[in-house]
Amino acid sequence: MTYAVLCPGQGAQHPGMLDALRDCPSAERVLADFANILGADPRSWCRPETIFRNDIAQPLICASQLAAWSELRRTLPPPAYFAGYSVGELASYACADALDASDLAFLARDRAKIMEAALDGRYGGLVAVRGLRHDEIEPLCAGRDLWLPIIMHETRVVLGGTRQAIDDLVSTIRTRHGELKALNVEVPAHTPLLAAAAAPFRDVLDRSRLREPRTPVLSGIDGSVISDRTHAINALSEQICNTIDWSRCVDSLYERRCRVFLELGPGAALSRLVRERFSDVEARSIDDFRSLAAAQRWIQSRAV
């Protein structure tokens, strides 16, 4: 079966997220490249008190995903597509051979810095909402510093904005029988609060060594297929302050005959969502396995 590789974003980091990469030579080289560029071993970031900090989370997630894929790919047939959720979209380009590890380290670090500078101290967050349609929630956000940065499903979205705006809306959503879960993300990504970050990050991408991906990457904004540098720069800069329609992205992969999905972690939210959305697919995260070798065997037995 045709398979796709999914790269998740922030929120599911855990102290053991790099443990499976021990004694994996290809993964070790990626982590060493990140350490050389950023001045710290990514393993030192895996502490409960710092792991969710935006400036640490973004490069850490990118390092873990590229390191894992660098090891997995040695014995796997090439995937048909890569797709990344939020900062995972940046990592997906490196997995698709459009960026080297050192370039990814620079871009992940700069993306986090540029986003924080654009906020100018107006930190907020993201909250997952389940049980209400996005067209029911959008009117509730009107006139507030609150938006729908991520659409996961018809009745599953993510709200983002200032902390005060989120707190003000919580009781209203609960009275309408919506379920809420605060995400471990410091910045209201993919909202107009980050509009000032788009142009500076585009400039950084323009100056980078980003190249045409060897394997197509799907845009998180609309699920379109990206196969050239210009389109990639546009997608990566625009998604910082625009809604991610992840449901559309997953539908696009399914329409392109992907029936096996491997999520690079951390966490397993994306693979779980794929299983819930389609009854005839197989989707797992590397966090579901005891080792990368087990994940390799799983893909080898299913993908062609």
Domains and CATH numbers, the chain: 2-119+192-300 (3.40.366.10), 124-182 (3.30.70.250)
By three-state DSSP, how is residue 117 classified?
A: helix
How far is residue 115's CA from residue 234's CA, in Å, rounded to a whole number? 16
What is d(CA 95, CA 215) in angstroms, rounded to the nearest whole number?
9
Rounded Cα distance, 115 and 86, in Å: 13
Say which amino acid occupies 188. P
284: DSSP letter = E
Question: pTM for this structure?
Answer: 0.96
Q: What is the rounded distance in angstroms from the CA atom of residue 259 to the CA atom of residue 279?
A: 10
How far apart are the two ends of the chain, measured CA to CA in Å? Answer: 5
Give the closest residue to 146 by CA, choosing from 161, 131, 128, 157.
161
CB-CB neighbours of 171 under 10 Å? 8
Q: Is 223 helix (H, G, I), strand (E, B) or coil?
A: coil
- 80-108 in b/e form (b: 16+ CB < 10 A) is bbbbbbbbbbbbbbbbbebbbbebbbbbb
pLDDT given at position 162: 92
| Cβ-proximal residues to 25 (8 Å cutoff; 6+ apart), any chain | 71
**Along the 304 residues of the chain, how does pLDDT read in single tens digits?**
799 999 999 999 999 999 999 999 999 999 999 999 999 999 999 999 999 999 999 999 999 999 999 999 999 999 999 999 999 999 999 999 999 999 999 999 999 999 999 998 778 899 999 988 888 888 888 889 999 999 998 889 999 999 889 888 887 888 887 888 889 998 999 999 999 999 999 999 999 999 999 999 999 999 999 989 999 999 999 999 999 999 999 999 999 999 999 999 999 999 999 999 999 999 999 999 999 999 999 999 997 6
